Amino acid sequence: MTLYPRILICACIALLMCLSCSRRPSQEEMEAQTLRWVDKWVRLYEVKFPGITITNLDQVYRGLDRAYPHSVHDELKPYGKHAGFKTSFFEKYVFFPLGNTSHWAQGEVAYMNAQPFPLREGNGMGRRLVFRNSSYRYHTMSEERVQRMLTEDGLKPLPLGTISLPPPRPPEPEIPFHFRIQEKFWRACGKLGLGLEATANLWRLAVFSPILLLGLLGLWFWRSRHRRVQDEGT
């Protein structure tokens, strides 16, 4: 075997070893991503129903005629007791009455995680909060600071009220075969603890490496045959 296929094989092995060391996103990162997504719908609700006090996410989604977020529900469930809800994703956040200000927030506290979750690097438990003054701000606070804020500023979140049970999942449309293979591949990588970027790189490697390898092998056979023809002609 000539140099080119050997280089490709070594590069593939090295990339696989690097990808296998990629860490899985922490729950703190997942919480930040989820809150940014949720906040989009909360703001839209506030524009559509100005001055209406929000009690829970069920109210927001019903007001905007949004379907239950089954995909987010499933992404958070593997965190177990720290997922932040038992039955419905709509249990995950608690809201504060309009105008509840805090010196910790230097403005108004809009809503936060109903339950604390583990922070990165062994920094204990904490919550993700949304503050509102001239603009919206997101901040992660330790559970100790959250409790001090609630006590010192006399804040109390609104009761969750009535939250409907999650509806059954709608029937999934027929998925083409290559998409089903890709979905299984991504799920397998997720179970191995690979992050999204690492999984995407590994998928590209799995798809394009055989094509590149076949091309290099074809070039190697062609050069070998061409060399034999030259040798036979001399």
**pLDDT, greater one: 28 or 206:** 28
- Strand extents, DSSP E, the chain: 93-95, 101-102, 107-113, 117-118, 125-132, 136-142
Range of the domain at 53: 27-152
**Residue at 45 is within a domain:** yes
Average pLDDT of the segment spanning 190-218: 73
Average pLDDT of the segment spanning 100-115: 89
pLDDT of residue 222: 72
Round the average pLDDT of the chain to a whole number and report it: 81
**Residue at 51 is within a domain:** yes
For 75-84, how does the pLDDT look when each residue is reduced to its tens digit (9 = 90+)? 999 999 999 9
Q: What are the φ/ψ torsions at residue 118 (nearest 5 degrees)?
A: -70, 135
**Residue at 214 is within a domain:** no
Confidence of residue 13 (pLDDT cuts 50, 70, 90): very low
**Residue at 224 is within a domain:** no
**pLDDT, greater one: 9 or 155:** 155
**Residue at 65 is within a domain:** yes
Confidence of residue 175 (pLDDT cuts 50, 70, 90): low
Matching residue, tokens 């591949």: 185
Element (H, E) at 150: helix 143-152
pLDDT at 218 over 90: no
pLDDT of residue 179: 67
Matching residue, tokens 């719908």: 41
**Residue at 234 is within a domain:** no
**Residue at 168 is within a domain:** no
pLDDT of residue 144: 94
**Residue at 19 is within a domain:** no
For 26-83, how does the pLDDT look when each residue is reduced to its tens digit (9 = 90+)? 888 899 989 989 999 999 999 999 999 999 999 999 999 999 999 999 999 999 999 9
pLDDT of residue 17: 46
Specify the range with the lowest mean pLDDT, choosing from 111-115, 119-123, 206-210.
206-210
**pTM of this structure:** 0.65
Residue 198 to residue 207: CA distance in whole angstroms: 14
For 116-139, how does the pLDDT look when each residue is reduced to its tens digit (9 = 90+)? 999 987 789 999 999 987 677 888
Confidence of residue 177 (pLDDT cuts 50, 70, 90): low
Residue 31 to residue 101: CA distance in whole angstroms: 23
Residue 234 to residue 63: CA distance in whole angstroms: 85
Number of separate domains in the chain? 1
